[in-house]
Amino acid sequence: MKSSKSNKPTDNNPDTPPPQPQQPAPAAAPAPTPASAPASAADNSAAKPAAKPRSPRARTRKPPAAAAPAASATPEFSFTATLTPDLPTPADRTLGAAAPTRNSELGTRNLGGVLAAPAPLTLATLLATPTDLTDTAPGATSVVMTTRIRLARNLAAHRFPGWADEPRRAAALAACRAALATAPALHPAYDLAIATLTDLEKQILVERHLISRELAAQKNNTAAMISRDQTCSVMINEEDHLRIQFLHAGFQLKKTWAAINDFDTALENTLEYAFSPTLGYLTACPTNLGTGLRASAMMHLPALGMCGLMDKVVRAVNQLGIVVRGHFGEGTDATGSIYQISNQTTLGETEEQIIRRLASVLNAIVEHEQNARARLLEKDAPRLHDKIGRAYGILQNAHLLATGEAMNLLSLVRLGVDLALFPPAARASVDRLFIEAQPGHIQYTAQQTELDPAHRDIARATLIRETFANIAAPDYGN
């Protein structure tokens, strides 16, 4: 939980309708508890401690990193940002002629004594790069769409960003960039200075969950470094000096924790973190003290909503120290029945304990969602099939679609995929549309300076109509 106020992603002309009121929850609805989780869940139910377990109360401090090699020596990590042949870079995909070109600024590779100039890695390249989060989604499941873990870190002997003047913020930014230049997970990386991004570019990054709305609202001496596959992003000088995030498709808490733990440990060999033996990692917001860890899953829960059980689930998990938020985090709506569910406490537990507890709760929610789907099919299958069929028909033929309406209709089709009414391959197309139907992405695809809400609705309907032309009609025989 962040201390700063959350706002909806930037859109000068919001075209998302207000959320529909939730149905009252039946009194006898089941409440998810860790005990109700399945005895085993692949890769998640019992995340094993890392090889080097960490505790917020007993962090082993590492010796300072070795002195930097002389200028003539060969660095341990060196590379060029030259794009590989499998990375498409269509010339016509840009975000406006006035947009500046940004280099990765991470260095060059020594090729036989000749230093190759770094090639630009721009936001247009990022959007043209296929990733498992937007294209193939090999790990996507029927309920858990993505898994994310975020760590909040601050530099010792540096003021927190909110209390630092611009020279101090610039010094912290330079220190973080220098340390991140040695991180293998960011080879190559998109090094984006927030001050050089347009409002549209920042909105697109927010819609992809690569930066926060708080970072997008800032300007000077802030940056985001994003890996080419978009599974790792690091925000610099947001609320804390570093907000490190790893994101994977599907239910992969153990894999995501292992990756971010290795990244953070390696980074701490270069940077001295602000750390207290009694309080753990020191953060700008007291709610992040201790481990500084926020683990979350993006979950698709349409059946719990249809059965009127979602309020009951929210109250139950809150009692277990778990918080439920909307699609874009705190203060946003759960459009399309998509919820972010994450741990609420970071102090008094180790990282592994937090992740095990969250995994247990998430497994229980998955079980309740699947039970709710089975209940809907058993009690009123024709009504459920009618909702899904109508959603498919509208998406395949509509010429005007607002963001909220599109998300809710896509949610029903995704449910239809999970119920075997559509082929499994349709899930990847729907998941991609959840991102590309957002206002910023629609504006980018239109390649125009600005679209008003009505023209965005037309462009959104066109994009979805073209996609659904390749999705077969639902097969109710399954």
pTM of the model: 0.75
Question: Do the beta carbons of residue 242 and residue 236 sit within 8 Å?
Answer: yes
Please count the other Cβ atoms lying within 10 Å of the Cβ belonging to residue 47.
22
Considering the domain boundaries, does residue 168 fall inside one?
yes
Confidence of residue 136 (pLDDT cuts 50, 70, 90): low
Picking from 238, 266, 290, the residue at the C-terminal end of a domain is: 290
Residues 274, 132 share a domain: yes
Range of the domain at 384: 373-468
How sure is the predictor about 312, in pLDDT bands with cuts at 50, 70 and 90? very high
With 0-12 / 13-18 / 19 or more C-beta atoms within 10 angstroms meaning exposed / middle / buried, residue 457 is: buried
Q: Give per-residue pLDDT as tens, 279-296.
A: 999 999 999 999 999 999
Question: Any idea what the CATH number is for the domain that residue 244 is in?
Answer: 3.30.590.10
CA distances from 268 to 62, 63, 142, 394, 462 (A): 8, 10, 37, 52, 48
Kindly state whether residues 125 and 217 are assigned to the same domain.
yes
Average pLDDT, the chain: 78
Q: Is residue 57 part of a domain?
A: no
Residue 428: inside a domain: yes
Distance from CA of residue 41 to its chain's centroid? 22
Establish if 258 belongs to a structural domain.
yes
- Residues 342 and 323: beta-carbon distance below 8 Å: yes
Q: Is the pLDDT of residue 87 over 80?
A: no
| Residue 423 covered by a domain | yes
What is the token pair recorded at 300? 């698709």
Q: What percent of the chain has a predicted confidence (pLDDT) above 70?
A: 72
Residues 384, 284 share a domain:
no
What is the Cα 438 distance to its own chain's centre? 15
**Domain end point (choices 243, 262, 290):** 290
Does some domain include residue 414? yes
Tally of domains within the chain: 2
Q: Is the domain of 165 the same as that of 286?
A: yes
Question: 286 with 397, same domain?
Answer: no
The answer on pLDDT for 65 being more than 60 is: no
Identify whether 450 is part of a domain.
yes
Same domain, 282 and 396: no
Domain finish residue from 290, 308, 327: 290
Dihedral, 312, 315, 319, 325 alpha carbons, nearest 10:
120
- Could you give the 3-state DSSP secondary structure of residue 328? coil
Do both 277 and 141 map to the same domain? yes
> 296 or 124, which is more confident?
296
pLDDT attached to residue 374: 96
pLDDT digits (tens, 9 = 90+) for 218-235: 889 999 999 988 999 999
pLDDT for residue 104 is more than 70: no
Strands 280-281 and 293-300: unpaired
Q: How far apart are the first and last CA of the chain?
A: 43
User: 135 or 437, which is more confident?
Assistant: 437
Q: Please check whether residue 87 is in contact with residue 125, taking contact to mean a CB–CB distance below 8 angstroms.
A: yes
pLDDT-based confidence at 106, cuts 50/70/90? very low
Task: Map tokens 């069929």 to a residue.
Answer: 389
Are 166 and 260 within one domain?
yes
367: in domain:
no
Q: Are residues 395 and 258 in the same domain?
A: no
Shared domain check, 380 and 286:
no
Give the distance between the most distant pair of CA atoms in the chain.
Answer: 74
